[in-house]
Chains A and B, each alone.
Chain A
Amino acid sequence: MSEKLLMKGNEALAEAAIRAGCKLFFGYPITPQTELAEYMAKQLPKRDGMCLQAESEVSAINMIYGAAATGSRCITSTSSPGVSLMSEGISYIIGSDLPCVLVNVQRGGPGLGGIQPAQSDYNQAIRGLGHGDQHVIVLAPNSVQEMASLTGEAFDLADIYRMPCMILADGALGQMMEPVDFGAHTPREIPAKTWATNGHKNARKHNVVNSLYIAPEELEQTVLDRFERYAEIEEKEVKYDTYLTEDADIVVVAYGITARIAKTAVRMAREQGIKAGLFRPITLWPFPSGELKALSATASAFLSVEMNMGQMLGDVKLAIDCAKPVSHFGRTGGMIPTPDEILVHIKKAVGGDN
């Protein structure tokens, strides 16, 4: 077993990216993800790579677009307001079928919001990362360990499916320190990047990276092709975790940092004789709908817990076809829910006291 290191989530993610063969970082400073850029700035030049601070998030994402077009593994990271600025570029990257890894270490919003942890960019990540018919793969780590291991996975997924993969973290995961083992991710087989615009060397026809299709028939076809790939991802790449769900009356659904707090609440509920369980989506897109639906046969209620006003609630209801009651509990604006608070809502959901 490889040795565990104590690192901040932001740093662990950066280190994992470098170990995944990423040589290029483009970004713009914003709290609470700045350690990631700082780590890259320090490490990449020593490890055959390059870190460039762009003049804005708008430029950073377009540098990523250029670097990804050449077939190089590249990454950018930002926090909530920065993602809004990157939105245009992300859509172009999707429309041009380019792989890259995007990191959002979320903070409270809207607007300048705050700098404390939040999950209020769920909808943006799942439904509106860029204009047009599109998805990106969204991974939600819940520990410093997963900040590292899901980063390696994110690069592989991006390359295999030729699309951006987003790590949707939050300020707590970025800032906290925990032990991490960098051997936890096993790299996957990556197809050759025959589409890359890295100079044809007079050996092939010229490659074009483009998202413009003036003829609607042609554009429609590119979208349909992309959605076929999305269907394959929904079939093959769903990731989730469960805790005590087999016999659970009440299933708490939570991802990221919230999931581990919810796990404590589930444990406390069990101690009080309440059959609670935890379902943790790791891929937020594709959402583990089928696996959640299966639980609706045995559970009598679901409680969706997030650090937002209920952005995942609809996805949980859809997943189980509203077969059982689904309630929401969340804190927002940078507030982190406590296990006690979640326990109160678990009790409410099962119709117990309080």
Chain B
Amino acid sequence: MAGILLAGFGGQGILFAGKQLIVAGMKNGKEVSWLPSYGPEMRGGTCNCSVNIDDEPIGSPLVTTPDILLAMNKPSYDKFVSKVAAGGTVVYDSSLVTPDEIRADIKSCGVPATKLANENGFPKLANCIMLGKLMKETGLFDGDYFRESLRAASPKAKPELGEMNAKAFAIGYEYED
């Protein structure tokens, strides 16, 4: 169904965003895998994770030619956009990424996630805004279904976090250029 690569700076919630995709996938009866980059590069540098969601058992957990790329900074966009499979989709944070070139054979979608997150008072939830845009553009999961899944991801003691996640997701989902 889809190999997804999520990439950005450490601290942007890349791994969390990836995990939410496989949580939704598993609940939906799909085969899923999640593989983070690890080691020194995790500490303050770039960060990425490979997500597979499929009807068949997952082969390689490493996504080398993503169907979907979620890029939350310029270095990640530059590094991975050429790897996206033809006909695939790139969703990027347009407040941090100004593409040097746009590939004609893939769908390119920018959303100023960081700017929107700051404006709405939840500067750490740019990742959820990105997920909203990703879901809108790819239809990977139904928007309402994924939003509820994201809402349920917060610890039981802190339901307000889930509310904010869902709100951020909706902002991304509804964003129009």
Contact = CB atoms under 8 A, between A and B. Distances in A.
Contacts of A338: 60, 62, 64
B33 interface: yes
Contacts of A6: 19, 22-23, 26, 32, 34
A32 B35 contact: no
A175 interface: yes
Interface in B34-79: 34-36, 38-40, 57-62, 64
B56 to A, nearest CB: 8
A115 B39 contact: yes
Given A260-B60, A261-B60, A178 B34 contact: yes
A260 B35 contact: no
Nearest to B60: A261
Contacts of B58: 178, 260
B39 A172 contact: no
A4 B27 CA distance: 10
Contacts of A257: 60-61
Contact of B38 (A4, A175, A261, A267): A175
Contacts of A175: 35-36, 38
B38 A171 contact: yes
Contact of A176 (B34, B57, B59, B64): B34
A177 B34 contact: yes
B65 to A, nearest CB: 8
Given A177-B19, A260-B59, A115 B26 contact: no
Contacts of A263: 57, 59
B61 A176 contact: yes
Nearest to A176: B35
A265 B35 CA distance: 20
A260 B57 contact: yes
B39 A31 contact: yes
B34 A264 contact: no
Contacts of A179: 26, 32
A257 B39 CA distance: 19
A118 to B, nearest CB: 13
A339 interface: yes
Contacts of A260: 57-61
A115 B38 contact: yes
A4 B26 contact: yes
Nearest to A114: B39
A14 to B, nearest CB: 17
Contacts of A176: 33-36, 61
Interface in A32-56: 32
Given A31-B39, A32-B39, A171-B38, A178 B32 contact: yes
Ordered nearest first, which 8 A-B pairs have the shortest CB separation?
Answer: A264-B59, A177-B34, A176-B35, A261-B60, A115-B39, A176-B61, A260-B59, A336-B62
22 contacts: A4-B26, A6-B19, A6-B26, A31-B38, A31-B39, A32-B39, A115-B40, A116-B39, A172-B35, A175-B36, A176-B35, A177-B22, A178-B58, A178-B61, A179-B32, A257-B61, A260-B57, A261-B59, A263-B59, A264-B59, A336-B62, A338-B64
Given A6-B26, A178-B58, 12 more contacts: A6-B23, A32-B38, A175-B35, A175-B36, A177-B22, A178-B32, A178-B33, A178-B61, A179-B26, A264-B60, A265-B59, A338-B64
